[in-house]
Amino acid sequence: MLRRFIRTMSESKIKEFTLKTPKGTKDWADKDMVIREGIFSYLSTLFKKHGGVTIDTPVFELREILSGKYGEDSKLIYNLEDQGGELTSLRYDLTVPFARFVAMNGISSIKRYHIAKVYRRDQPAMTKGRMREFYQCDFDVAGAYDTMVPDAEMLEILCSGLQGLGINDFKVKLNHRKILDGIFEVCGVKEEDVRKVSSAVDKLDKSPWEIVRKEMVDEKNQPEEVADRIGEYVKLILLANESASQGIRDMAILSDYVEAFGISKLLSFDLSLARGLDYYTGLIYEAVTAQSAPPTTVDSKKKKSLKEDDDASDYVGVGSIVAGGRYDNLVGMFSASKKSIPCVGVSFGVERIFSLVRQRLVQDQQVRASHTNVFIMAFGNGFLTERMAVAKRLWDAGIETEYLYKNKSNPRRQFEAAEKLGCSIAVILGKDEVAQGKVRVKTLNTGVNDDGELVDLDNVAPYVKEKLEGIVRVDDISRLIGNLTN
């Protein structure tokens, strides 16, 4: 009785704080964080190079803004509790908030990029990089332009973006909603059924035709003969081009433009590509890579605890890593005058790209979490305030500097701390040096066991700065990411 009571006590104590992040979310830290920030920085630079300006929208929107935009997936939207006031939901993607922003501000043209988190109450599959909270890196062009001109640039951004991140074994599948719509029309699919049939067709790259056909008939309520007709057309590599002539004309125009960018060999027309989202109206595309990310790269430490969340049976590699398309009617849905602003966009799936980039960087120990380059040490005496004063000089000169937060510490401890951080330079204060108003500056990791150079206190910042410029660091993340391309 007593033992049971004690057990209940300790159980409730443990239960008091469930030390975990919510399902489908995770913390990012250490080298993973440095790599991910490197990817964000790389993509921002890419988007800016193409004239992109960035915006930031709230993480939640009025619920009615999101409703009716995501078809069947609307059930995955996170709602905020009704605590009085407006009903709101977490954003599901960055596209609908962008369209709301364009309509609300009466913007007629903008090239905007947005790197931010989105939220989906999906079944998490950590090994596939599918989370409930994840980043999207989107670049979208809104405005009425000549056919396929911004669309072609999206494909250029997609291709050079992946290549710049060292991902070369990818292919881009293209299709055109108008071509698909034409086929469905010819096959006798009713207009209101087009989107749900689309989402079945989209599974053709993962499931055999028989499964997709079954879904069309059983779940999407299509007559068997309609399903068979779709199969015939879609499975055909060549298209009977009586229908969908506009889509085909667009594709012909596009092919000249992607030729000018020198990316045509990376693209392939794929009639089975449909993309789930309701709002696409024209060209759609998706980059896939055959390379799968091994489960260990995503979150090796927590592998065990994640197993229950992870549906190993549908593990098919990281799948699509960039995707997008044209959506000409979404802004109009938010506009009182129903005036639409045509849009086209591309979205990089960071979590998936991260797995691929990390895989290449992880074997070497080059990536550092810390940026500290200089460690200030005291030999013999603590010299804490003296170390602080030297640190202040270096910080003011823009130099990343640390020292032990101790009044006194032995030299070995201080060298260990410097080494652990990966510092290049030690600034050493000894009794003699301090008395002379000097410090010793010693380059670390040279293999040479010297005492360093004696430097005047007043000259320490410029001296160290110059010395650092001469040290080529191999662990700079942008250099590492850049090197991946070679």
Site for a copy of itself in 314-333 (CB under 8 A): 333
Indicate which single residue of 12, 313, 385, 449 sits in contact with a copy of itself (rule: CB under 8 A): 385
Query: Any contact of residue 413 with a copy of itself (CB under 8 A)?
Result: no
Q: Does the annotation list 136 as a binding residue? A: yes
Indicate which single residue of 7, 28, 211, 252 sits in contact with a copy of itself (rule: CB under 8 A): 28
Cα-Cα-Cα-Cα dihedral of 180, 181, 182, 188, to 10°? 110
Query: Any contact of residue 308 with a copy of itself (CB under 8 A)?
Result: no
Site for a copy of itself in 63-102 (CB under 8 A): 64-65, 78-83, 85-86, 88, 90, 100-101
Query: Any contact of residue 19 with a copy of itself (CB under 8 A)?
Result: yes
Indicate which single residue of 1, 29, 238, 435 sits in contact with a copy of itself (rule: CB under 8 A): 29
Site for a copy of itself in 140-179 (CB under 8 A): 141, 143, 145-146, 149-150, 152-153, 156, 160
Query: Any contact of residue 257 with a copy of itself (CB under 8 A)?
Result: yes
> Which residues, in sequence order, are CB contacts of 63 under 8 Å at separation 6+?
79, 86, 87, 88, 89
DSSP assignment, residue 50? T
Count of chain residues binding a copy of itself (CB under 8 A): 98
User: Angle at Cα 342 formed by Cα 341 and Cα 348, nearest 5°?
Assistant: 120
- Residue found under tokens 């120990």: 365
Query: Any contact of residue 27 with a copy of itself (CB under 8 A)?
Result: yes
Quote the tokens at residue 324.
């997008």
**Of residues 22 and 447, the one with the C-beta less far from a copy of itself:** 22
> Which residues, in sequence order, are CB contacts of 320 under 8 Å at separation 6+?
286, 287, 288, 349, 352
Quote the tokens at residue 228.
């068979």
Indicate which single residue of 6, 9, 33, 252 sits in contact with a copy of itself (rule: CB under 8 A): 33
Q: Does the annotation list 120 as a binding residue? A: yes
Query: Any contact of residue 17 with a copy of itself (CB under 8 A)?
Result: yes
Contact between residue 206 and residue 316 where contact means Cβ atoms under 8 Å apart = yes
First to last CA, the chain: 69
Quote the tokens at residue 193.
């059924």
Binding-residue pattern over the window 418 to 457 for a copy of itself, x denoting contact by CB under 8 A: ---x------------------------------------
Q: Which stretch binds a copy of itself (CB under 8 A): 62-70, 224-232, 348-356, 456-464?
A: 62-70
Contact between residue 87 and residue 79 where contact means Cβ atoms under 8 Å apart = yes
Quote the tokens at residue 216.
């069309």
Of 147, 65, 52, the closest CA to residue 99 belongs to 65
Indicate which single residue of 50, 214, 249, 360 sits in contact with a copy of itself (rule: CB under 8 A): 50
Query: Any contact of residue 473 with a copy of itself (CB under 8 A)?
Result: no
- CA 418/CA 373 separation, integer angstroms: 9
- State in angstroms the smallest separation of the CB of 218 from a copy of itself: 26
- Residue found under tokens 């602080």: 388
Q: Which stretch binds a copy of itself (CB under 8 A): 23-31, 183-191, 237-245, 430-438?
A: 23-31
- State in angstroms the smallest separation of the CB of 217 from a copy of itself: 31
Buried b or exposed e, range 413-431, using 16+ CB within 10 angstroms: ebbebbeebbbbbbbbbbe
- State in angstroms the smallest separation of the CB of 403 from a copy of itself: 9
Per the annotation, where are the binding residues? Answer: 93-95, 120, 136, 140, 275, 279-280
